[in-house]
Structures are given as structure tokens and as C-alpha cells.
Amino acid sequence: MTASAGRTTIAHSLLQRWSLAVIRPSEVVALVVASIALVPVLYLGWRALEGGERALASLTHPRTTWLVLRSLGLAVAVAASSALVAFPLAVLTERVAFPGRRWLAILLAVPLAVPSYVMAYAVVAALGPRGTLASLLERSIGLTRLPEVYGFFGAWLTLTLVTYPYTFLALRAALRGLDQAFEEVARTLHAGHWVTFWRVTVPLLGPALLSGMLLTTLYVLSDFGAIAILRYPTLTYSIYNQYRLSFDRSAAAALAVLLVVLSAILLIAERHWQRRAAFYRTVGTRRPPVLHSPGWRSWLGLSLVLLWGSFAIGLPAGMAAFWFLRARSLGEQLPGIGEPLANSLLVGSAAGLVTVALALPVAWTVVRGNGRYVSLVDLPLWIAYGLPGIVLALALVSFSVRFLPWLYQTLPLLIVGYALRFLPEATGILRATLAQQNPRLEEAARTLGLRPWRAWLTVQFPLTLPGIGSAFALVFLTTIKELPVTLLLSPIGFTTLATAVWNATADAFWSHAALPTLLLLGIGVVPMALFSWWQERGAERSNE
């Protein structure tokens, strides 16, 4: 009796080890998600091959090389500048006890909800040759020439304004999960404030910083709206033109394959750079960081933060408010926006939930998975993310109309489309958050008899919560502004705030775009505010 019991235990443990080592359920989910993300890549390959010579011609055109270099140049510049902006914003709002810093942090993430072409219009309206700033300067100090907004400068500024929240949110989540002990140890070793910050805090934030910058880079590579208005032709610009002008799907696909290669190189470089380092403590308990009280330097920093924030939010909000007031003074009848508002909230939340739920196993697999190549399982997701929206949308049209006709142009497919488009935003942040956690914690919980899911729920989940919140907010904000996938894959007649803005601006009905633009900014606050409130309530409870 005892002998047989002993044998079963051994068998059990063997089985357990086998199943742990070879395939965990999370790894299965990650693999499934990754293979779905391969659909657009396969579609592109198919289309490009179908084109044969035409596709080859568009690849070998001398202009293509030039476009690739321009794309890369802009992407790197925007990634660098948005990191430079996001870093102080995140540190100041997360580490210094300013009054109302939570609200400030929430507001600072909102520009992410602004479609890049709307930001581009606003930048032109404000900084263009006949814009607000120009006429202000002309009237006050007689200055008539401003630096040219069109071209690299305008595209760089606009894209920095809409993408810095990526790095900002990633850094905030990481700062929140950061273990105070590392910095304290550095201090006991007589490292000064600054040395501690640069040698300890910054390297610990590495994964978050890199994932934010990677998101920014890929966003810029795939952006069409801003660069078209600010006249900075890139590879994506050329891809769009192939569709729009010659209806040449093969030539467009060939160019998009080039983007795939670019993204893959960037990703592998990032992985190589980051390698695998531990970002958690091994003994004792993690303590949340302490807030510094603001000194004069922090106040100076805060005023710069406020200046930047009011610029990033004020530009689009100011322009929309101008449109609105002008329409009101003319007594113009504006279309109703109740339905687009409700729809935007619906798809934003649904896409946020689904994406985060799918991203958790992927991030988990990348951080904790066994095997050398497991950490590359999210590669297809990032590649899909680097594709222009229209390419992904057409790939999904082509695939679903053939293989899932009953899902075509329905809400579930739309949500899957969003998830596919925005998964890396969530996996990036979650990966950085998970890297901060000691896997021994979970193992300890398991040895204490908790089942895997209980262990996850009671130990891991609370620690991952800051990352989950930031990831949800990111996906929500980018979903509500998403356009190409929404236009082609939504149920017919389905309008969101983004499609309302687009429909109005496409034919220069500026007044019709006013309210939806303001609402996009308005509901951009919702997920962050809710999450912040939830967390604070949780903190109060645990303090009691």
C-alpha cells in the first residue's frame, strides 16, 4: 500500500516535471497566438510572390532604398526623443510627491488616443507657415520666418507627441514595480543620489525603456497619417500609394515584406541587447518605493512636464475646440455622437481585455519559458505590429472571407483584429513587469500547496497588476483611435469616434470632427483613471 503510494508520487512528480519542462498551458496559448499573427506575414508573402517581376521591380527601384533609410531615420529619431521626454515625466510623476501627480500622469498618457493625422493637422495649424505661432510672432516681434514645419521636423515632432506615452506608460509600470532595496543597497555603499539613479535605477528600467522605444519605432515605421500631411515620404507612404493609386496589391506587398524584415532586425537587435538578466531580488520581501518630497529641481522639472503636457494635449484639443466654437457661432447643426462614443468605449474595453488576456501567457512564456527559442515566440506579434494598418486589415479581409466567412465583418473578428494589431503593446509592458518578479515566489506558493492558478491569482497577479493596468490602458487608447482595421472589418454601419473624425476630416468638414476629437481625448482618461482609483482603494485596504 505504502509502496504503491510512493510509486504514484514519483510518477506524479515525473509527469509534473515533464509537463512543466516541455509544454505549459501558457506556452500553448502563446504558440497559438503567435501563429495567428503569422497570417498577415503569410498573406504578404503570397501576394508578393504572385506579383513576380512587378514585385521585384518595386523592391529594386532605387527610390526604395532611399525610402527605407528615411523611414529608419525618422523612427530612430522619434524613439530617442520620446524616450528623452518620457523618462523625466515618468520619474517625476511616479517618484516625487507632487500634489495631484496621479491626475497629471493620467493626463500625460492621453495624447496616445489622438490619431496621428489629427495631431499633424494641429501641428500645422499651430506651427505652420501661417499658423497661430507664426501670426503671434509676426504681430509681437515682427518675426516672419519660422523653421519649416513640413518635412522631417514636423513629422518628428508630431510623432513624438503621439508616441511618447508608450515609453511613459512602460516606465511608470516598471517604476511602480521596482524594488526599493536595490537603490538602498547602492546608497549604503555610499553611492550618491545621481550615481544610484544612473547606475542602479536606469539599468533596472532597461526592459521597460527598450520595449517602449521598440513600440515607438515600429509605430513610426507603420504610420501613414502624420507623414502624409507633413510631407515626409517613407516606405509606408509608398505602400499606401501602391494600393491607392495603382491598386497594385503585389507591389505593395513586396514593399511591406521589406518592412517585415526591418522589424525583425530591430527586434532581434533588441533581444540581443537585453539578453536575459534578473531584475528581481532573491531574498527578503519586496517593498514599494518611497516618494521623495519635491525640491526646487523637481519643481523646475514639473513645470517643464506641465509645459510639455499642455503642448501635447493642448494642440489637438485647442484645434478641435476652435472648430467647435466656429461651428457654434455659425449655428451649424452637428451630427450626433452618442453611438460612436458608446461603440468606442465598447471596442476599447473589449480589445483591452482580450489583448491583455492573450498577452499574459505570451509575456510569461518569453520571460520564464524553457528553451532557447521560446523567448522569440512573440516575434510574429511585433512584426504584425510594424505593418501599416491597411496591410493588416486587407490580410484579415482576405483570410477571414475565405476561411471564416461567418465571422467576417463581425464584432468578434474586429476585436481579434485589434488584438492582433496591438498585442505587442501589452506583451512589451507585461514582459518588463514579469522580469521584475522573482519566480521563487510562485514556486514557494506552489510548495505551500497552492494550485498553479491559485498561486498565480494570489501571488503573481497582484504583483503584475501595475503592468496589466498600463497594458490595458495602452491598448484601450490605441484601439479607440484605430482606423484601417475598423473601417474594413467592423460590422456594417458601425461607427466609432475615430471613424467619425476621419469621415469628417476626409472631406474637410472640420466642424463635424470637433466633438469626436474632444471626446477621444476625454475618454482617453477613463481607463487610466479607473485603474488608478482601483489601485488606490486596494492600497488603502491593505493599509487598514
Partner 1 sequence: MRRRDLIRLGGLGLTAGWTLLAACQSAEPTATPAPPTSTAAGAGMAPTASPTPAAAATPTAGATPTVMTRSQSAVVTIYSGRSKSLIGPLLDRIGQELGLDVRVRYGDTAELATAILEEGDRSPADLFFGQDAGALGALAKEGRLAPLPSELLQRVPQPYRSSKELWVGISGRARTVIYNTERVKPEEIPASIVDFAGNERWRARLGWAPTNGSFQAFVTALRRMRGEDVARSWLEGIKALDARVFPKNSSIVQATINGEIEAGFVNHYYLMRERAQAGRPLPAENHFYTNGDPGGLVNVAGVGVLVTSRASDAALALVDYLLSEPAQRYFAEQTYEYPLLEGVLAHPDLPPLASLNPPALDLSDLDDLKGTLALLQEVGLL
The C-alpha cell at 56 is 521585384
- Provide, rounded to whole angstroms, the least separation between the CB of residue 316 and partner 1: 17
Number of residues that bind partner 1 (CB under 8 A): 61
Q: How far apart are CA 12 and CA 487, in angstroms?
A: 52
**According to the binding rule CB under 8 A, does residue 407 interact with partner 1?**
yes
What do you get for the CA distance between the two ends of the chain, in Å? 50
Kindly write down the DSSP assignment for every residue of 166-177, as one continuous string. HHHHHHHHHHHH
The C-alpha cell at 427 is 506583451
**According to the binding rule CB under 8 A, does residue 158 interact with partner 1?**
no
- Provide, rounded to whole angstroms, the least separation between the CB of residue 154 and partner 1: 12
Q: Which residues pair with 292 in a beta bridge?
A: 96
Q: How far apart are CA 400 and CA 395, in angstroms?
A: 8
CB 66 within 8 A of CB 255: no
Which of 190, 272, 402, 541 binds partner 1 (CB under 8 A)? It is: 402
x-or-dash string of contact with partner 1, 9-38, rule CB under 8 A: ---x--xx--------x-------------
Query: How many Cα neighbours within 13 Å face the side chain of 24?
Result: 18
Nearer to partner 1 (CB atom), residue 292 or residue 454: 454
**Distance, C-alpha 182 to centroid of its chain:** 28
Q: Which stretch binds partner 1 (CB under 8 A): 172-180, 259-267, 399-407, 418-426?
A: 399-407
Which of 68, 267, 377, 390 binds partner 1 (CB under 8 A)? It is: 390
Which of 116, 298, 478, 499 binds partner 1 (CB under 8 A)? It is: 499
Residue 479 CA: distances (Å) to CA of 350, 476, 484: 10, 5, 11
Nearer to partner 1 (CB atom), residue 258 or residue 504: 504
Q: In terms of Cα–Cα distance, which of 90, 107, 215, 238 is closest to 159?
A: 215
Nearer to partner 1 (CB atom), residue 229 or residue 313: 229
- Provide, rounded to whole angstroms, the least separation between the CB of residue 93 and partner 1: 36
Element (H, E) at 374: none
Nearer to partner 1 (CB atom), residue 225 or residue 466: 225
The C-alpha cell at 306 is 506641465
Which of 307, 401, 444, 457 binds partner 1 (CB under 8 A)? It is: 401
**According to the binding rule CB under 8 A, does residue 229 interact with partner 1?**
yes
x-or-dash string of contact with partner 1, 427-466, rule CB under 8 A: ------------------------x---------------
Which of 243, 322, 346, 438 binds partner 1 (CB under 8 A)? It is: 243
HEC letters along 239-300: HHHHHHHHCCHHHHHHHHHHHHHHHHHHHHHHHHHHCCCCCCCCCCCCCCCCCECCCHHHHH
Q: How far apart are CA 502 and CA 284, in angstroms?
A: 54
Q: Which stretch binds partner 1 (CB under 8 A): 86-94, 362-370, 431-439, 501-509?
A: 501-509
Q: In terms of Cα–Cα distance, which of 228, 225, 236 is closest to 259?
A: 236
**According to the binding rule CB under 8 A, does residue 284 interact with partner 1?**
no
Which of 46, 150, 197, 322 binds partner 1 (CB under 8 A)? It is: 150
Binding site for partner 1 (CB under 8 A): 12, 15-16, 25, 61, 63, 128-130, 150, 228-229, 231, 238, 241, 243-247, 249, 326-327, 329-330, 332, 335, 390, 393-394, 397-398, 401-402, 405-413, 451, 484, 487-488, 491-493, 495, 499, 503-504, 506-512
